[in-house]
């Protein structure tokens, strides 16, 4: 039987504001398979971040239910720590603490969980190897490039061993070349670790390059407008972007986006 990493049933979100309530996400059903690379794509303000933050347990749903690795994320209005520990998050900004070394930033979640110095160091160094940061253990965040800071953010998100990595436009602030390099790196890290990845992006080419499956969300209140399976073999090389099939999936998404936006 297939296990799902994340399941959502009739998940919806309204934000209370000083004016009228904002309906950010319409009732949404979702099943994300273990090990899948899922991309959420959609126009600005359609509810991608809202959906991702709800999956990550950072935002309580207004209605509906969420389960992570078979465990309910919320119980009696409280977050379930066992489900939360399966989730790691990466945002557009790396949000590293400037007064901690790269290694200490990556190990911080482990320190908060009470691990001793030796174990923290061992785990941080293993993760720094995974994300290609070996040799930068004692550097400060300001001494790293934007791409390297995002590598550190990925390592930190993986530090306590979650099965699921949630990423909200993680490369949105990077220049085009660094972004392409980071896409390749993320694919490699995903293939090496077997994690489930849910990635939010505005970029059609990033979505088609990385995803097993793309959910295209319609404008607010967000709901799934299209579900697109991306068939290319792994590992994908940048050259796949020149293929006719890649171009046709991208063109279809572009047309649909401009039709609904």
Ligand X SMILES: Nc1ncnc2c1ncn2[C@@H]1O[C@H](COP(=O)(O)OP(=O)(O)OP(=O)(O)O)[C@@H](O)[C@H]1O
Q: Rule CB under 6 A: which residues touch ligand X? A: 15, 17, 22, 24, 42, 44-50, 202, 220
Q: Can residue 49 be called a binding residue for Mg ion (CB under 5 A)?
A: yes
Q: Would you give the distance in Å from CA 175 to the centre of its chain?
A: 19
Query: If contact means CB under 5 to 8 A according to the sort of partner, which of ligand X, Mg ion, none does residue 101 touch?
Result: none
What is the rounded distance in angstroms from the CA atom of residue 88 to the CA atom of residue 157? Answer: 5
C-beta of 22 vs 115, nearer to ligand X: 22
Could you tell me the smallest distance in angstroms from the CB atom of residue 9 to ligand X? 19
Could you tell me the smallest distance in angstroms from the CB atom of residue 66 to ligand X? 16
Query: If contact means CB under 5 to 8 A according to the sort of partner, which of ligand X, Mg ion, none does residue 80 touch?
Result: none
Q: Which residues pair with 189 in a beta bridge?
A: none
The four Cα atoms 218, 223, 227, 233 give a dihedral, to 10 degrees, of 90
Q: Can residue 50 be called a binding residue for Mg ion (CB under 5 A)?
A: no
Q: Which stretch binds Mg ion (CB under 5 A): 47-55, 95-103, 117-125, 171-179?
A: 47-55
What is the rounded distance in angstroms from the CA atom of residue 135 to the CA atom of residue 131? Answer: 12
Q: Which stretch binds Mg ion (CB under 5 A): 45-53, 61-69, 128-136, 180-188?
A: 45-53
Query: If contact means CB under 5 to 8 A according to the sort of partner, which of Mg ion, ligand X, none does residue 44 touch?
Result: ligand X
Could you tell me the smallest distance in angstroms from the CB atom of residue 151 to Mg ion? 22
Query: If contact means CB under 5 to 8 A according to the sort of partner, which of Mg ion, ligand X, none does residue 47 touch?
Result: ligand X
Kindly write down the DSSP assignment for every residue of the chain, as one continuous string. Answer: -PPEEEEEEEEEEEE--SSSPEEEEEEEEEEEETT-EEEEE--TTSSHHHHHHHHTTSS--SEEEEEETTEESEETTEE-HHHHTTEEEE-SS----TTS-HHHHHHHHHHHTT--HHHHHHHHHHHHHHTT-TT-TT--GGGS-HHHHHHHHHHHHHTT--SEEEEESTTTTS-HHHHHHHHHHHHHHHHHH--EEEEEES-HHHHHHH-SEEEEEPSSSB-EEEEEE----SSPPGGGGGSHHHHHHHHHHHHHHHHH-
C-beta of 1 vs 20, nearer to ligand X: 20
Could you tell me the smallest distance in angstroms from the CB atom of residue 102 to ligand X? 27
C-beta of 146 vs 172, nearer to Mg ion: 172
Query: If contact means CB under 5 to 8 A according to the sort of partner, which of ligand X, Mg ion, none does residue 45 touch?
Result: ligand X
C-beta of 105 vs 201, nearer to ligand X: 201
Could you tell me the smallest distance in angstroms from the CB atom of residue 154 to ligand X? 20
Could you tell me the smallest distance in angstroms from the CB atom of residue 43 to ligand X? 7
Q: Tell me which residues touch Mg ion (CB under 5 A).
A: 49
């Amino acid at each position: 039987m297939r296990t799902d990493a994340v399941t959502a049933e009739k998940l919806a979100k309204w934000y209370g504001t000083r004016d009228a309530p904002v309906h950010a996400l319409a009732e949404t059903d979702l099943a994300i398979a273990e090990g899948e690379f899922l991309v959420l794509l959609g126009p600005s303000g359609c509810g991608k971040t809202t959906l991702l933050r709800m999956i990550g347990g950072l935002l309580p749903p207004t209605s509906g239910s969420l389960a992570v690795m078979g465990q309910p994320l919320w119980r009696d209005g409280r977050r379930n720590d066992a489900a939360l520990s399966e989730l790691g998050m990466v945002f557009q900004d790396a949000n590293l603490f400037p007064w901690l070394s790269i290694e200490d930033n990556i190990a911080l979640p482990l320190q908060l969980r009470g691990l001793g110095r030796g174990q923290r160091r061992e785990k941080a160094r293993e993760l720094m190897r995974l994300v290609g940061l070996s040799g930068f253990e004692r550097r400060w965040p300001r001494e790293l490039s934007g791409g390297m800071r995002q590598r550190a953010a990925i390592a930190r998100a993986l530090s306590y061993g979650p099965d699921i990595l949630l990423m909200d436009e993680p490369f949105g602030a990077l220049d085009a070349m660094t972004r392409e390099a980071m896409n390749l790196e993320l694919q490699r890290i995903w293939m090496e670790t077997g994690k489930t990845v849910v990635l939010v992006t505005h970029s059609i080419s990033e979505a088609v390059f990385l995803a097993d499956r793309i959910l295209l969300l319609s404008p607010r209140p967000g709901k799934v407008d299209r579900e697109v399976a991306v068939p290319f073999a792994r590992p994908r090389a940048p050259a796949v972007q020149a293929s006719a099939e890649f171009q046709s999936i991208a063109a279809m998404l572009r047309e649909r986006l401009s039709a609904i936006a």
